[in-house]
Structure 1
């Protein structure tokens, strides 16, 4: 199977693409990133553009509710803002549907998400879990849940394929399993060959962005690093940009 090398990959003609890594409740940095992007687009008089958010809007950070609300407004204003689902976003919905004290949401940052809706998530016993779940389910607006449920798992522009976690090597892009797109790690990260397109992803936090022949990882662990990273694709030009907590 032939593939595309990062150095040869091009974005779609006339469209600049920004791909933003995992947000994890840092709506402050998300606003800063959008402001910088808007400044660039105005400065360069870009003919057209897309902003692709690679998922994990929620958990661990201080304002998951605010991040969802911000992106809902951004998408409503302009459909060129695209938001993909991450495993934490799906885990949040799973908890709202059926609370699991050992699930992703409960064990990996869901308490911070609940606090952003004004709910203190207590799971020390079954009664506390049921009570917390009822409070959270009542506090999360239906519009937030509908927004998360409708998020796609992938997008593609030019020679680049965007998803949260990665793809299963050897499987056609259009046949990727939805769970792989938000969960896969080792089989994808360790694969040395080229893919049909360069995969732009998050999900696996790194101290620095990873730019490899077959993939680009822009998850710089915002919840502990305070840095949100994006890949910018403009024709044959590719570059990274970031915003940090000051």
Structure 2
């Protein structure tokens, strides 16, 4: 096992050294000022553009992305004040998440925070803003970012009760997330949402298309889908029988 060696402080680039020192002094000064001032709510500031944040990172964009996300995570707990998510400016919040995602495109942290944390706010408009951020990010790298998009579809269905929106996200998953590492159930979400919307013919077409395209290769999944097709055929026949005079 290789021995880990610690780099001396003398190896730290001088601009980064002075930047860290300035940050520490500012932090100490801010803490002292807070002790002598009444607690008050601070609004979330606008996020810096990605180009500015990258320049300020001094060649360490991944570290800057993590720092930005930690800043967001701690922003709700201000000295003497607790800030509920529903009071955050979600447009600015999306800006911070987008900048962090741009600096570290391989990380899933910003997308997880958006789809599983901030989208859980009891405010449909704010939740939709987070889902829109997830959907836009998903389109840029669908085979890597499908988990957040699948979660967005579930939030749209169960939390917002917006089946058309959930269907839109599920359809994008089926069409774009086609890599071998994407589970079969992700591509099948569209068919099940169509069934919930009573669009049985469309659900049967989607399932038939999945089978015919070869996207599903697992024998158990294929058998499951075949049973679903049989069940859909029975439901469609029963539905048509009810419509007869």
TM-score, normalised to structure 1, is 0.25
Report the structure number with the largest CA radius of gyration.
Answer: 2
Structure with the higher strand share, 1 or 2: 1
Structure with the higher helix share, 1 or 2: 2
